[in-house]
Structure 1
Amino acid sequence: MSYSYSPEKQNPYLPLKKSPSSWSNLWFKSPNKALNHVVFTMHLKSLTKRQLQPHKALIFDRTLLLSDELLLRVFQKLPESQRKPSSLVCKRWLSLQGRLVRSLKLLEWDFLESGRLVSRFPNLTRVDLVHACIVWPRSCGVLLNHRVVSVPVDSEVSQNGFLENGKVLASNVVDRGLRFLASGYPNLRKLAVVGASELGLLSLAEECSTLQELELHKCSDATLRAISGFGNLQILKLIGNAEGLYKSLVSDVGLTILAQGCARLVKLELSGCEGSYDGIKAIGQCCQMLEELTLSDHRLDGGWLSALYYCENLKTLRFQSCRRIDVYPGLDEYLGSCPTLERLHLHKCQLRDKLSMRALYMVCGAVRDFVVQDCWGLDNDILGLATTCRRVKLLSLEGCSLLTTEGLESAVLSWKDLQKLRVVSCKNIKDSEVSPAVSTLFSILKELQWRPDTRSLLSSSLVESGMGKRGSKFFKKTWRPEVPA
């Protein structure tokens, strides 16, 4: 006769029906009340655990006692590196973290049109739609890094560039997305988009009256007719022709429309735009609050430099990736100058033309910060022409391989107000050729960074000798001026 254990019965020796022998029967065959009690208790605990499991989360989730406003204040105190992991705790935290996001770069266009963008991030004020407007190839192993945007490419390339022939969303699709965006974010402050038309921008201007910064890729003169609708626009970036990506035209017509519609403009960047003296003059006359002008790969006609005279409040002038400054600047008496200009930055530009560089220095005669980075053609003669800018207080030279110690010395000694000097990666400037006059100048500078080549030892010797003192201030080796990316 065999016996089996039942937790409902206290007596394990009650006779039951015969059953085939097994290892469990053999184990419980001998009376062992202590072991039976242990097994019975474990079985009860497992049942209790399974029954109470659905209620356990409700009991121990103490955050349910806190309001959304209080949790948002807690999340705001978290560093950026911890906000994303904390949003994965539960759906409520994910939703609350979405309210804190203000800036977003969208990668999937469907996420906008489906309405999930607005529901997931209801408080966005800065949105970048550039990558979402590009049709990504399904199988792409090459990423094209352009100055204005980085895009994946495939083997199909048209004569007009990588982003032609259906590689960018149609203008009606982009316009529909802008309407979705405007209805969901009436307090939008910044937007970047590719291929928008006049109608799409007008619908955006009607809803987003507080928009202050706008970046338009693949822009044309017709697109700019809607620019007057943005009454509070202060920062504008126009990309007309992006070589290798797409072709679009912004001419004097578009620049004039822009000038008349953006009277409150403070910063303006023209990339791949055409035009001439008339377009720049219109901007100077109408946009009287303009303080910063950036020209990237410009295609302006000869003589445009003299139009900078009308930019009466211009403080910063930048050139980026420009193959030329001005092919024919004209006579000196027509150039004029910008009396309020303080900063002149040249980045990856061609500076071989002495005539245009001389005209540029005359227009920028009042400049105080002169920054040159990775430009071609800057030799002793070109830098020597800059001595007409007699108010220079900051000089930064980087990647000027043609410049020698002699050319640098003649320039820095002519600037009596020079206070900051930075020389980096200029291989023809040697420590051994530094004259005593320049060494004396180094000792009175407020800030100095001297690293013309990898073998330079002057910087370390200056630190050891204590040169660079001026009153209670010491020069800083790690000083870096503001250089455009």
Structure 2
Amino acid sequence: MPLSPERNHRPLSRRRLSWPDLWVKEQALSHVALKMGLHSLPETPPPEPDETLASDFTALDLDSSAPDSTSLLSDELLLSILSKLPESQHIPNSAVCKRWLRLSGRLVRSIKVLDWEFLESGRLVYRFSNLTDVDIVRACIRSSRSSGILLTHKFVSVHLDSSLSGGGFIRKLDLLHSDLVDRGVQILAEGCPNLRRLVVIGVSAEGLSSVAEECLTLQELELHCCTDLSLRGIFGCQNLQILKLIGIVDGFYDSVISDIGLTIVAQGCQRLVKLELVGCEGSYDGIKAIGQCCQMLEELTLCDHRMDGGWLAALSYCANLKTLKLQSCKNIDLSPGPDEHLGSCPALEELHLQQCHLRDKQGMRALFLVCEPVKELIFKDCWGLEDNVFGIASICRRVKSLSLEGCSLLTMEGFDVVVLSWKELQRLRVVSCNNIKDSEIRPAMASLFSVLKELKWRPDSRSLLSSGLAGTGLGKKGGRSFKRV
């Protein structure tokens, strides 16, 4: 009998399930339950937080009568699932229940603490037990959070209010006392023994000692507003490889790190690979101690240094130094001494000069003599880099890569004399050097452009390479860059 139109259009949802359909669904559900049961462990109730931590969970309004489908999963399996989700989902997931809150905290590895009470009360280490990277600088500075003005420096940021005085943006009374900082650092070290990086301000030797004892895998340490005596606490940091010391920062910090502190670092951190000194005082003796004791040191950065004259000669003791960076330095070396006493860094490969005053020809000559084996030179936004000063760089005859950016005093006359003297040059980058003109490019320089492996030529926004470069692939307005494979 033909079916009626009504039966042909019966909704699928009303179709009665046959026995095969029911059997397939039942077997599928049994299989899922079996798989979930295999991964589950005997139920062990999670540790309940104490009364001081109970307030963290009062905001969770949970319906205890609702079934929890994830209760059959072990912590390890559920944690593995949560770790596959994007980081943006960690906070929403932590609001599901107490268990998810606890597990989501174990996924967090890096954090910047803004509230000191959160650290001091122990809630930080309870909530995030697997931290490896912690920055507590902001939490150690008393500032008005209600202020709409946030001053950001490359080393620190702070809220400002109308009570700002002429003493600087951060006054001594704005910093927590070292005893409080030490206690907080000790809580952090005991609760997060897997720390690999720590950023702290105003800590004393006692606080650093607790970190050295508890955090045996600590590899990177950044100390703000520290002093010579506080550095005694890092003697136990046997695996420390990266150290950044911030002493004087105009308008923010005013602490002294001298040869005493550098000698303490040299003797206590002999596995250092990278060392950065910001606003540090010192002399030949301090740098020499670093070079003699830290035989693995490969990168040294000096930012706004206050070194006494003659410190450059001590760099020759850094036998394995590969990279030297000078940033925001008002001078290089005011009294470098005779050339025969300078020596050189035999393994040096890179020399970076950024936002430095380079008008002192004597200091620049000493620098290039010490860095004579260098293969890569980088100048960025340096003042006083004129033709005569840049001409001293011809001392370095092994240069393979040159980068010039923001060097407006340099002209083509001083530029090509030095560049053409480097027979091994392979890479050239010239950006925002307005006195280097395309119209002054000589045939020898054009020939060099054609054989370089990498070239970026944009001395100014109107750069137009001359027709003499025909055949090299260059000559389009606005500059040109290329790489040879």
Q: How does 1:5-154 map to 2 (within 5 A)?
A: 57-58=66-67, 62-154=69-161
Cα shift at 1:345: 0.5
- Does residue 373 of structure 2 align to residue 366 of structure 1? yes
Instruction: Give the counterpart of 1:268 among 275, 278, 281.
Output: 275
Out of 440, 458, 465, which is 1:433 matched to? 440
* 1:25-79 deviations in Å (ceiling 9; x for gaps): xxxxxxxxxxxxxxxxxxxxxxxxxxxx969952xx6444433322332333334
8 Å contact 1:104–1:128 — kept in the other structure?
yes
The alignment status of 1:301 with 2:308, answered yes or no, reads: yes
Aligned counterparts of 1:415 and 1:54: Cα–Cα separation in 2: 76
| Distance change (3 Å), C-alpha of 1:85 and 1:407 | farther
Q: Give the alignment's TM-score, normalised by structure 2.
A: 0.81
Q: Distance in 1 between matches of 2:317 and 2:191?
A: 40
Preserved CA contact (<8 Å) 1:128 1:191: yes
Instruction: Summarize deviations over 1:351-409 as a string: whole Å, max 9, x none.
Output: 11111011100000000111111111111111111011111111111111111122221
Please report the TM-score for the alignment, with normalisation by the length of structure 1.
0.81
Contact 2:450 2:472 in 1 (8 A): no
The correspondence of residues 454-469 of structure 1 with structure 2, limited to 5 A, is 454-458=461-465, 466=473
1:337 pairs with one of 344, 354, 357: 344
1:410-439 C-alpha deviation (Å, 9 max, x unpaired): 121111111111111111122222222222
Relative distance call for 1:449 and 1:281 in structure 2 (3 A) is same
Distance of 1:87 and 1:464 partners within structure 2 = 62
Give the alignment partner of residue 213 of structure 2, picking from 201, 206, 215: 206
What are the Cα deviations for residues 268-322 of structure 1, in whole angstroms up to 9, with x where unaligned? 1111110111111111111111111100110000000001011111111001111
- The residue type equivalent to 2:226 in the other structure is C
Tell me the CA shift for residue 169 of structure 1.
Answer: 0.9
Query: What is the correspondence of 1:261-410 to structure 2 with a 5 Å cutoff?
Result: 261-410=268-417
Q: Deviations over 1:182-236 (max 9, x none)?
A: 1101121110100001111112211112211111111111111212121111111
Give per-residue Cα distances to partners, 1:160-197, cap 9 Å, x unaligned. 53222311111111011011101101121110100001
Root-mean-square deviation (Å): 2.6
- Matched to 1:234, the amino acid is Q
When residues 241 and 331 of structure 1 are mapped into structure 2, their CA distance, relative to the original with a 3 A threshold, is same
Give the whole-Å Cα distance in 1 for the aligned partners of 2:252 and 2:295: 33
The structure having more radius of gyration, on CA atoms, is 1
2:195 is matched with 188
> Which residue of 2 is the match for residue 234 of structure 1?
241
5+ residue gaps, structure 2, are 1-61, 476-480
Bigger shift: residues 319-328 or 67-76: 67-76
The correspondence for 1:164, drawn from 167, 171, 175, is 171
Report the number of matched residues.
419
Distance 1:132 1:334, change over 3 A: same
Amino acid at match of 1:230: C
Q: What residue is the counterpart of 2:419 in the other structure?
A: 412
For the pair 1:251 / 2:258, whether they are aligned, the reply is yes
Contact 2:244 2:277 in 1 (8 A): yes
Deviation for aligned residue 1:88: 4.8
Matched residue, 1:15: none
Q: Deviations over 1:413-466 (max 9, x none)?
A: 111111111111111122222222222211111111112111123499989963
Identity across aligned pairs (percent)? 65
Task: Give the corresponding residue for 2:48.
Answer: none
The one-letter code sitting in structure 2 at the alignment partner of 1:403 is L
C-alpha deviation, 1:159, in angstroms: 5.5
Q: Which runs of 5+ in 1 are unaligned?
A: 1-52, 469-473, 480-485
CA distance in 1: counterparts of 2:381 and 2:132, whole angstroms: 35
Q: Distance in 1 between matches of 2:71 and 2:467?
A: 60
